Amino acid sequence: MKHSLKVGFSFGLTSGIITTLGLMVGLSSGTSSKLAVIGGILTIAIADASSDALGIHISEESENKHTTREIWESTLSTFICKFAIALTFLVPVLLLELTSAIVVSIVWGLSLLCIFSFGVAKNGKITPWKVVLEHLTIGLMVILAAHFVGNWIALTFG
């Protein structure tokens, strides 16, 4: 895979999973509102995918070692991947009761993260279980932090 596409795909996928899950869990804990969670997912898919794509664009430009085409490939692949991954989390929210949708989304997101992390480790000739465990731990920490912040917001302002 070309470097520019790999940058966009790996960043978009990881950010799409972690950001969307964190937002979903936090909004669900704080509001128990399906509407708020759906709005959050759509906001992540549009605004945060755009923001991440611009961040990758500027980061790649600042390295002064990529062609204009490579920079735009990284930019567009980041946006497309983050947008698409975020939208996958809409499916359980639209089809299930909110609590069940959150559980299914966590399983879905962490499974994707594990599979991708395993592939990254294999490609880099690194011990897979260490990479998978590291990335899974970070993902779980974000989910737990978002849950507790959501609960705190509900108790403080609800």
Q: What is the pLDDT of residues 63-100, one digit of tens each?
A: 999 999 999 999 999 999 999 999 999 999 999 999 99
Name the pLDDT band for 158 (thresholds 50, 70, 90).
confident
pLDDT of amino acid 16: 97
pLDDT at 1: 80
The candidate with the shortest Cα–Cα distance to 12, out of 47, 71, 53, 44, is 53
Mean pLDDT for the stretch of residues 124-133: 94
pLDDT of 108 over the 90 cut: yes
Q: How confident is the model at residue 112 (pLDDT cuts 50, 70, 90)?
A: very high
Query: Region 13-21: what's the mean pLDDT?
Result: 97
Domain hosting 58: range is 3-157
Q: d(Cα 45, Cα 41) in Å, to the nearest integer?
A: 6
% of residues, the chain, pLDDT over 90: 97
**The pLDDT of residue 118:** 96
Average pLDDT, the chain: 97
Chain mean position to CA 95: 21
Q: Would the pTM count as exceeding 0.85?
A: yes
Instruction: Indicate the number of domains in the chain.
Output: 1
Q: Whole-angstrom Cα distance, residue 11 to residue 24?
A: 19
Q: Please state, as a whole number, how many other Cβ atoms lie within 10 Å of the Cβ of residue 17.
A: 26
